[in-house]
Chains A and B, each alone.
Chain A
Amino acid sequence: MTVTEPAAPTAHLEIGNARRRKEDQRLITGRTRWTDNIVLPGMLHLAMVRSPFAHARIVSIDTDAAKAARNVVDVLTGADLGESQGVCINAWPITPDQKAPTHLPMPSDRVAFAGEIVAVVIARSAAEARDAAELVDVEYEELPAVLGIKEAVKDEVLAHPDLGTNKSALWVFDSAEAGTGGDVEEAIAKAREDGIVLEREYRQQRLIPAFMEPRSVVVDPTGEQMTMWSATQIPHILRFALAATTGVPESKIRVIAPDVGGGFGGKLQATPEEWITWAVARRLRKPVKYTETRSESLMSGHHGRDQWQNLTLAATKDGRVTGLKVELTADMGAYVAIVGGGVPVLGAFMFNAIYKFPAYHFSCQTVLTNTTWTDAYRGAGRPEATFGIERLMDELAAEVGVDPLEIREKNWITHEEFPFTTVSGLEYDSGNYEAATAKAKEHFGYDELRAEQQRRREAGDPVQLGIGISTFTEMCGLAPSRVLGALDYGAGGWEHAEVRMLATGKVEVVTGASAHGQGHETAFSQIVADKLGVPFEDVEILHGDTAISHRGLDTYGSRSLVVGGEALAKATDKVIEKAKPIAAHLLEASVDDLEFAGGRLSVRGTDKGMSLAEVAAAAFAAHNLPDGVEASIDSEATYDPVNFNFPHGTHLCAVEVDTETGGIRMRKYTCVDDIGTVINPLIVEGQVHGGLVQGIAQALWEEAVHDESGTLVSASFVDYLVPTAADTISFDVDHNTTECTTNSLGAKGVGEAGTIASTPAVVNAVVDALRPYGVHDVRMPCTPERIWKAIHESGQEPTTPQAAGHFEPGMEGTADRSTGAEGTDQ
Chain B
Amino acid sequence: MTRIEMTVDGDQVSDDVEPRMLLVHYLRERLGKTGTVVGCDTSNCGACTVHLDGRSVKSCNVLAVQASGHTVTTIEGLAQDGELHPVQQAFHDCHALQCGYCTPGMIMQSVDLLNDNPHPSEEEVRLGLEGNLCRCTGYHNIVKAVLQASGGASS
Spell out A's residues near B (CB within 8 Å): 20-21, 23-32, 34, 36-37, 127, 210-214, 259-262, 264, 293-295, 516-519, 682-683, 685-687, 689-694, 716-718, 722, 724-726, 728, 730-731, 754
- Write out the residue numbers on chain A whose beta carbons fall within 8 Å of the beta carbon of B33: 30
Q: Which of B28, B35, B36, B45 contacts A717 (CB 8 A)?
A: B45
Question: Could you jot down 20 A-B contacts, CB within 8 Å?
Answer: A27-B100, A28-B75, A28-B104, A29-B78, A29-B88, A37-B34, A211-B135, A213-B101, A259-B100, A260-B99, A516-B99, A686-B98, A689-B139, A691-B138, A722-B133, A725-B130, A726-B130, A728-B139, A730-B155, A731-B140
B44 adjacent to A716 (CB under 8 Å): yes
Assuming the contacts A20-B92, A716-B40, A730-B155, asked whether A212 and B101 have C-beta atoms less than 8 A apart, the reply is yes
- Write out the residue numbers on chain A whose beta carbons fall within 8 Å of the beta carbon of B125: 725
Interface membership of chain B positions 46-57, coded 1 if the CB is closer than 8 angstroms to chain A and 0 otherwise? 010000000000
Q: How close is A717's CB to chain B, nearest CB, in angstroms?
A: 4
B31 within 8 A of A: no
B129 within 8 A of A: yes
B39 adjacent to A294 (CB under 8 Å): yes
B15 within 8 A of A: no
- Write out the residue numbers on chain A whose beta carbons fall within 8 Å of the beta carbon of B91: 24, 28
Assuming the contacts A689-B138, A724-B129, A731-B138, asked whether A29 and B35 have C-beta atoms less than 8 A apart, the reply is yes
Q: Which residue of A lies closest to B108 (CB)?
A: A30
Assuming the contacts A37-B34, A731-B138, asked whether A716 and B41 have C-beta atoms less than 8 A apart, the reply is yes
Q: Which of B39, B79, B99 contacts A29 (CB 8 A)?
A: B79
A694 and B104 alpha carbons, distance in the complex (Å): 22
- Write out the residue numbers on chain A whose beta carbons fall within 8 Å of the beta carbon of B92: 20-21, 24-25, 28
B139 adjacent to A212 (CB under 8 Å): no
A294 adjacent to B133 (CB under 8 Å): no
B133 adjacent to A685 (CB under 8 Å): no
Q: How close is B132's CB to chain A, nearest CB, in angstroms?
A: 8
Given A28-B97, A37-B34, A261-B99, 4 new contacts (CB under 8 A): A34-B101, A210-B135, A212-B101, A724-B139
B137 within 8 A of A: yes
Q: How close is B58's CB to chain A, nearest CB, in angstroms?
A: 12
- Write out the residue numbers on chain A whose beta carbons fall within 8 Å of the beta carbon of B38: 36, 214
A726 adjacent to B129 (CB under 8 Å): yes
A30 adjacent to B35 (CB under 8 Å): yes
A686 adjacent to B136 (CB under 8 Å): yes
Q: Which of B36, B74, B101, B140 contacts A689 (CB 8 A)?
A: B140
A30 adjacent to B104 (CB under 8 Å): yes
B39 adjacent to A214 (CB under 8 Å): yes
- Write out the residue numbers on chain A whose beta carbons fall within 8 Å of the beta carbon of B64: none
A212 adjacent to B45 (CB under 8 Å): yes
B95 within 8 A of A: yes
A518 and B98 alpha carbons, distance in the complex (Å): 6
- Write out the residue numbers on chain B whose beta carbons fall within 8 Å of the beta carbon of A690: 98, 135-138
- Write out the residue numbers on chain B whose beta carbons fall within 8 Å of the beta carbon of A716: 40-42, 44
Q: How close is A137's CB to chain B, nearest CB, in angstroms?
A: 24
Q: Which of A28, A31, A724 contacts B130 (CB 8 A)?
A: A724
Interface membership of chain B positions 109-123, coded 1 if the CB is closer than 8 angstroms to chain A and 0 otherwise? 000000000000010
- Write out the residue numbers on chain B whose beta carbons fall within 8 Å of the beta carbon of A210: 135
B11 within 8 A of A: no
B39 adjacent to A24 (CB under 8 Å): no
A517 adjacent to B136 (CB under 8 Å): yes
B79 adjacent to A718 (CB under 8 Å): no
- If over half of B's interface residues share one DSSP class (helix, strand or loop), that class is named, otherwise mixed; here it is loop
Q: Which residue of A lies closest to B85 (CB)?
A: A28
Q: Which residue of B lies closest to A19 (CB)?
A: B95
Which residues 2-26 of B sit at the A interface, judged by CB distance below 8 A?
A: 18, 25
Q: Which residue of B lies closest to A684 (CB)?
A: B95
Q: Which residue of A lies closest to B36 (CB)?
A: A30
A717 and B141 alpha carbons, distance in the complex (Å): 23
B65 within 8 A of A: no
- Write out the residue numbers on chain A whose beta carbons fall within 8 Å of the beta carbon of B104: 28, 30
- Write out the residue numbers on chain A whose beta carbons fall within 8 Å of the beta carbon of B41: 293-295, 716
- Write out the residue numbers on chain A whose beta carbons fall within 8 Å of the beta carbon of B122: 730
- Write out the residue numbers on chain A whose beta carbons fall within 8 Å of the beta carbon of B74: 30
A212 adjacent to B102 (CB under 8 Å): yes
A686 and B142 alpha carbons, distance in the complex (Å): 10
Interface size range of chain B in the complex: 35 or more
B139 adjacent to A27 (CB under 8 Å): no
Q: How close is B97's CB to chain A, nearest CB, in angstroms?
A: 6
A726 adjacent to B127 (CB under 8 Å): yes
B149 within 8 A of A: no
B129 adjacent to A683 (CB under 8 Å): no
A716 and B45 alpha carbons, distance in the complex (Å): 10
Q: Which of B35, B95, B135 contacts A686 (CB 8 A)?
A: B95
Q: Which residue of A lies closest to B76 (CB)?
A: A30
Q: Which of B28, B37, B129 contacts A213 (CB 8 A)?
A: B37
B143 within 8 A of A: yes
3 closest A-B pairs by CB:
A30-B35, A517-B99, A261-B101
B42 adjacent to A717 (CB under 8 Å): yes
Q: How close is B133's CB to chain A, nearest CB, in angstroms?
A: 5
Q: Which residue of B lies closest to A298 (CB)?
A: B40
- Write out the residue numbers on chain A whose beta carbons fall within 8 Å of the beta carbon of B134: 212, 725
A212 and B136 alpha carbons, distance in the complex (Å): 9
A725 adjacent to B135 (CB under 8 Å): no
- Write out the residue numbers on chain A whose beta carbons fall within 8 Å of the beta carbon of B28: 37
Interface membership of chain B positions 75-94, coded 1 if the CB is closer than 8 angstroms to chain A and 0 otherwise? 11011000010001001110
Q: How close is A409's CB to chain B, nearest CB, in angstroms?
A: 29
- Write out the residue numbers on chain A whose beta carbons fall within 8 Å of the beta carbon of B100: 23-24, 26-28, 32, 259, 261, 517
Q: How close is B149's CB to chain A, nearest CB, in angstroms?
A: 12
B148 within 8 A of A: no
A682 and B99 alpha carbons, distance in the complex (Å): 15
A152 and B82 alpha carbons, distance in the complex (Å): 60
- Write out the residue numbers on chain A whose beta carbons fall within 8 Å of the beta carbon of B47: 212
A536 and B138 alpha carbons, distance in the complex (Å): 28
- Write out the residue numbers on chain B whose beta carbons fall within 8 Å of the beta carbon of A517: 98-100, 136
B72 within 8 A of A: no
- Write out the residue numbers on chain B whose beta carbons fall within 8 Å of the beta carbon of A691: 138
A262 and B47 alpha carbons, distance in the complex (Å): 13
Q: Which residue of B lies closest to A696 (CB)?
A: B138
A517 and B37 alpha carbons, distance in the complex (Å): 16
A211 and B131 alpha carbons, distance in the complex (Å): 16
- Write out the residue numbers on chain A whose beta carbons fall within 8 Å of the beta carbon of B136: 212, 262, 517, 686, 690
- Write out the residue numbers on chain A whose beta carbons fall within 8 Å of the beta carbon of B42: 294, 716-718
A32 and B122 alpha carbons, distance in the complex (Å): 29
- Write out the residue numbers on chain A whose beta carbons fall within 8 Å of the beta carbon of B150: none
B103 within 8 A of A: yes
Q: Which of B36, B103, B135, B144 contacts A28 (CB 8 A)?
A: B103
Assuming the contacts A20-B95, A690-B138, asked whether A27 and B44 have C-beta atoms less than 8 A apart, the reply is no
Assuming the contacts A21-B95, A717-B40, A718-B44, asked whether A262 and B138 have C-beta atoms less than 8 A apart, the reply is no
A30 adjacent to B98 (CB under 8 Å): no
Q: How close is A519's CB to chain B, nearest CB, in angstroms?
A: 7
Q: Which residue of A lies closest to B130 (CB)?
A: A726
A717 adjacent to B133 (CB under 8 Å): yes
- Write out the residue numbers on chain B whose beta carbons fall within 8 Å of the beta carbon of A264: 135
A716 and B78 alpha carbons, distance in the complex (Å): 30
Q: How close is A284's CB to chain B, nearest CB, in angstroms?
A: 21
- Write out the residue numbers on chain B whose beta carbons fall within 8 Å of the beta carbon of A754: 138
- Write out the residue numbers on chain B whose beta carbons fall within 8 Å of the beta carbon of A726: 126-127, 129-130
Assuming the contacts A20-B93, A260-B99, A686-B98, asked whether A34 and B34 have C-beta atoms less than 8 A apart, the reply is yes
A293 and B40 alpha carbons, distance in the complex (Å): 7
B133 adjacent to A28 (CB under 8 Å): no
- Write out the residue numbers on chain A whose beta carbons fall within 8 Å of the beta carbon of B135: 210-212, 262, 264, 690, 694, 722
A685 adjacent to B95 (CB under 8 Å): yes
Q: How close is A383's CB to chain B, nearest CB, in angstroms?
A: 16
A20 and B148 alpha carbons, distance in the complex (Å): 15
A691 and B140 alpha carbons, distance in the complex (Å): 11
- Write out the residue numbers on chain A whose beta carbons fall within 8 Å of the beta carbon of B144: 730
Q: Which of A212, A683, A694 contacts B133 (CB 8 A)?
A: A212
A687 and B42 alpha carbons, distance in the complex (Å): 28
